[in-house]
Amino acid sequence: MRGRAVSNARWIAVSRVVSVGVQLLSVMWLARLLTPVDYGVVAMALIVTNFANLIRDMGTGSALIQKEDLNQETILTGFWFTLGLGTVLGIVVVALAPLMAFAFEAPAVTGVLWVLAATFPLLGSTAVNKALLERASRFPLLARVEAVSAVTGLAVGVSAAYLGAGPYSLALNTLAYALVSSAQLWLASPLRPRWFWSQHEFRSIRRFSDYLVGFNIINYFSRNADSMIIGRFLGAESLGMYSLAYRIMLFPLGNLTFVASRALYPVMSRQQAVPEEMAALYLRTLAVIAFVTAPMMAGLFVLRDLFVAVLLGSKWASMADILFWLAPVGFIQSLTCTTGSVLMARGRTDVLFYLGIACTILVVAAFMIGVQWGVVGVAAAYCIENMVEFIPVFYIVLRELKHGLSRFLRTIVTPMALALVMALVVHGCKELLPLGTLPAVAQLVLLVLVGVTTYAVLGFAFARQSFQDVFRFFKRPNRARRGA
């Protein structure tokens, strides 16, 4: 089971490395061509499209992956359902666009939403294709699809920005990704649809997906409450500043954690009746995630001023104050965002749903309090709320795997302590060494190298197992173990 998960993760990581590279290029390139107001307009539009994306397949793809016995009738029923739902969602987004523009007093939101609406029927038509490939662990193929799509989207977005498309360049980036990925999935998938509908099979999917969809809807409000509140009370410029800082914080959350969760889910779904084995694999995965994300977020915290100045430019300088609070959030959520895959693999989407309700109540209350102190207050409130919910969430999830908190806490304490020591070393070098004569880029590169070297030495000395697990991830498996 561990061997298959590692193999899946390697190929997902290939895709995410390309995706992260494209995102970094996009941020550095487009941030210099666009304004905070452009990003704010797109962030307003994403409030609608992010919600629609949550219900784009109503959990059908996840249900097909988790299902122990899958037949052609279930597959065809799922296909026609996701295609129809994607088409309906596209029409709804088009209809809502003028209302959103009026609500935010931003006319450009209408056109941006009209462009983004076209992605829903495209992605709805290939939701089942993608799920079948993931269920079969065809991640080398999926890595190629996602990498090619990401590069194409970047090319389209940057070209549009150079031509003066403003916020539309970000929307065209997303549309190009959807077009290219859909075309590749249709060419790669063995699915050849014919008309078939079974109410019985549809109900069997819904037994799993209803709570999952409910969680996704609740989680949407939790994830986007900050954008709604900032956009409504503080305006587009503050929202643009916050949304870009949030994207930077999400890099480890949306990449390393995404890789782990996506790789583990089909493997753990096949082992859902053996929670002890699932727990061993899950805790070892958490150790690796903490080992990687703790120093990343500690480094971002210490070097946030230089990071913003070098990568984004002086007009984004105030973002450093937001990253002060969002960097710890990045570490916490890199761990908590794996919990959904465990509960889904165990078929406990009901527990996932009720956890989502409790956490959303906490986070919305925190944002409403924090907005009184501006955009930095929202970020601070978000950080505090994440700290409050961290332990209770893991207590509930680990109980499903017949484990307590003590082993989990031992898993994450060591990388947290090592990251703290690394941060202190980097901060000391930043303050004590005569780096002021060097260009900002050289200062950032030098301090990052100090941090990486320090953490590598500490990790090898005090967290040998996690260090070796990360190293093994990049080694090519020998033939004897390839089928593990």
Name residues whose C-beta falls within 8 Å of residue 463's C-beta, 6 or more positions apart in sequence: 291, 414, 415, 418
Tell whether the model's pLDDT for residue 484 goes beyond 60: no
Torsion of CA 176, 177, 178, 183, to 10 degrees: 90
| Residue 39 pLDDT grade (very low, low, confident, very high; cuts 50, 70, 90) | confident
pLDDT at 371: 93
Helices (H), 271-373: 275-302, 304-311, 319-336, 339-345, 349-370
Tell whether the model's pLDDT for residue 437 goes beyond 90: no
Q: With contact defined as beta carbons under 8 Å apart, do 44 and 239 qualify?
A: yes
User: In this structure, what token pair is assigned to residue 65?
Assistant: 């992956």
The three state secondary structure string of 149-198 is HHHHHHHHHHHHHHCCCCCHHHHHHHHHHHHHHHHHHHHHCCCCCCCCCC
In the DSSP assignment, the letter for residue 478 is: P
> What average pLDDT score do residues 20-26 get?
72
Q: How far is 252 from 259, CA to CA, in rounded Å?
A: 10
> How distant, in Å, are the alpha carbons of 90, 158, 343, 444 from that of 30?
26, 7, 38, 21
pLDDT at 479: 40
Residue with tokens 């109980």: 399
Tally of CB atoms within 10 A around 365: 13
pLDDT at 478: 47
Q: What is the pLDDT of residues 298-355, one digit of tens each?
A: 999 999 999 999 988 888 888 999 999 999 999 999 899 889 888 888 878 889 999 9
Q: With contact defined as beta carbons under 8 Å apart, do 122 and 86 qualify?
A: yes
- Output Rg (C-alpha) for the chain, integer angstroms: 22
| Residue 474 pLDDT grade (very low, low, confident, very high; cuts 50, 70, 90) | low
> How distant, in Å, are the alpha carbons of 105, 177, 190, 405 from that of 180?
33, 5, 18, 44
307-310: long-range contacts at Cβ-Cβ below 8 A with a sequence spacing of 24 or more?
Answer: 307/444, 309/440, 310/440, 310/441, 310/444
Region of poorest pLDDT, from 58-62, 231-235, 302-306: 58-62
Q: What is the pLDDT of residues 418-433, one digit of tens each?
A: 999 999 999 999 999 8
pLDDT at 481: 37
Q: How far is 168 from 165, CA to CA, in rounded Å?
A: 5
pLDDT at 322: 94
Q: Assign 273 to helix, strand or coil.
A: coil
Q: With contact defined as beta carbons under 8 Å apart, do 174 and 50 qualify?
A: no
pLDDT at 363: 92
User: In this structure, what token pair is assigned to residue 311?
Assistant: 């990568």
Tell whether the model's pLDDT for residue 261 goes beyond 60: yes
User: In this structure, what token pair is assigned to residue 196?
Assistant: 């078939």
Region of poorest pLDDT, from 95-99, 104-108, 325-329: 104-108
The proportion of the chain whose per-residue pLDDT surpasses 90, expressed as a percent, equals 31
Q: What is the pLDDT of residues 366-388, one digit of tens each?
A: 999 999 999 999 999 999 999 99
The distance of Cα 167 from the centroid of its chain, to the nearest Å, equals 22
Q: How far is 484 from 482, CA to CA, in rounded Å?
A: 6
Q: How far is 354 from 459, CA to CA, in rounded Å?
A: 37
What average pLDDT is seen over the chain? Answer: 84
| Residue 470 pLDDT grade (very low, low, confident, very high; cuts 50, 70, 90) | confident
Q: What is the pLDDT of residues 206-225, one digit of tens each?
A: 777 778 888 878 877 787 78
Q: How far is 174 from 165, CA to CA, in rounded Å?
A: 14
pLDDT at 349: 83
The distance of Cα 6 from the centroid of its chain, to the nearest Å, equals 19
Tell whether the model's pLDDT for residue 162 goes beyond 60: yes
Residue type, 422: M
pLDDT at 373: 93
